[in-house]
Amino acid sequence: MANVIWWGRSDPEYSRNRLVLKFFKRFGWNIRFFSPVASQTGFLEAYLQRLSRPDLIWVPCFRHRDIHSASIWAKRWRVPLVIDPLISAYEKEAFERGKWPPGSKRSEKRRLYESGLFAKADMVVADTAAHADFFNQALRVSPEKIRILFVGAEDDRFQPRPVQAIEPPFEILFYGSFLKLQGTDTIVAAAKRTRDLNARWVLLGEGDLKNENKRQARLHQNIEFEAWIPYDRLSERISQAHILLGIFGTTLKADLVIPNKMFQAMAAGRPVITRSAKAYPEEIRGSSVIGWVPGGDPEALAAVVRNWLKSPAALERRGLDTRRLFDSFFSEPKLEEQFEHILEDLSRR
């Protein structure tokens, strides 16, 4: 049995990690978790704990700070180091948060630092082809070192459920953490334009922009807000909605990623509207099953909702077609194939 060290203080229950861990087990790998108290001294903790040599070191998502220590031991053991960053800290700080202007000294310092970290890995896993291009162009990661593994959705959690009565009042549901990336202000603005429809727009979750969105939605009876719910209840809540919403932000990241909610909504077999983005495979971008709109365009979002609700009986068929699209590109067997190719490439090396 091959051994992998899962290096970093990560959450094994996070959806991305759950999926990767499931695949490791499915392919017969023994997983050893190493969670250093301090990332900066992880190389020393590994020595004190007398970790035995694995066949592979995997640094899971969001654990950039663990890459350096993991790389020291990967080199010492002469085993491959794979990182699954899922995000770029440089992109997040310079583009998403606007902490430093792109091209500034501070921004360039962060970019070069992250580029150096990624260079320590033998393989970098990206969640979309667009993100892979960003890693290559901005962080100078060689294309030969990049492999793609979609985020996907857990098939055992997100399955199509019987459609509730397709009759008014119709429910248009967004759920998330109210980030700039998600464009919740666009959702509120679109909802204001559909007050004549017998429909309610629900924004579920918690986050930085929620209070501002509540202020924007004040006096509009067709807009409601709900508190976050436990993850194991999410699939059931999704099934109560007639239309699900993805993201509508205008940031760079919004063009690079396919958010969890898109995979989950598609797996649940519900009609979905989201912003167009180069993150999606070309075949999906050309599909009329998804309601594609430009980022930050409430008029376009309202128009798609209005058009779909003209023929509410067609929503069930659209939901089934959405699930078929998910099965063709993002289902667990498809992702398992991607993961198998990753392991095969490592074996050949």
Whole-number Cα distances in Å, 16 to 10, 52, 59, 62, 127: 11, 26, 12, 11, 10
| Strand, helix or coil for residue 325 | helix
Kindly tell me if the per-residue pLDDT of 203 is higher than 80. yes
User: pLDDT, tens digit, for every residue of 5-14?
Assistant: 999 999 999 9
All domains in the chain, ordered by first residue: 3-152+331-348 (3.40.50.2000), 170-329 (3.40.50.2000)
pLDDT range class, residue 98, cuts 50, 70, 90: confident
What confidence score (pLDDT) does residue 162 get? 79
Rounded mean pLDDT of the chain? 95
pLDDT band at residue 154 using 50, 70 and 90 as cut-offs? confident
* Percent of the chain scoring above 70 in pLDDT: 100
The mean pLDDT of 127-149, rounded to a whole number, is 97
- DSSP of 204-219: EE--TTHHHHHHHTTT
Q: In what order do the strands lie in the sheet with 30-34?
A: 30-34, 3-7, 56-59, 81-83, 123-126, 146-148
The pLDDT assigned to 296 comes to: 97
pLDDT at 40: 87
331 neighbors 152 (Cβ within 8 angstroms): yes
pLDDT of residue 59: 98
Q: Which one is predicted more confidently, 156 or 317?
A: 317
pTM over 0.85: yes
The SS3 of residue 31 is strand
The average pLDDT across 108-120 equals: 97
Instruction: Give percent above pLDDT 90 in the chain.
Output: 91
Question: pLDDT digits over 219-236, tens only?
Answer: 999 999 999 999 989 999
Instruction: Tell me what pLDDT residue 155 has.
Output: 84
**Mean pLDDT on 271-299:** 96
- pLDDT average, residue stretch 136-162: 93
Provide the pLDDT for residue 293: 98
pLDDT at 348: 84
pLDDT digits (tens, 9 = 90+) for 233-269: 999 999 999 999 999 999 999 999 999 999 999 999 9
The number of C-alpha atoms within 13 Å of 132 and in the hemisphere containing its C-beta is 19
The predicted structure's pLDDT at residue 145 = 97
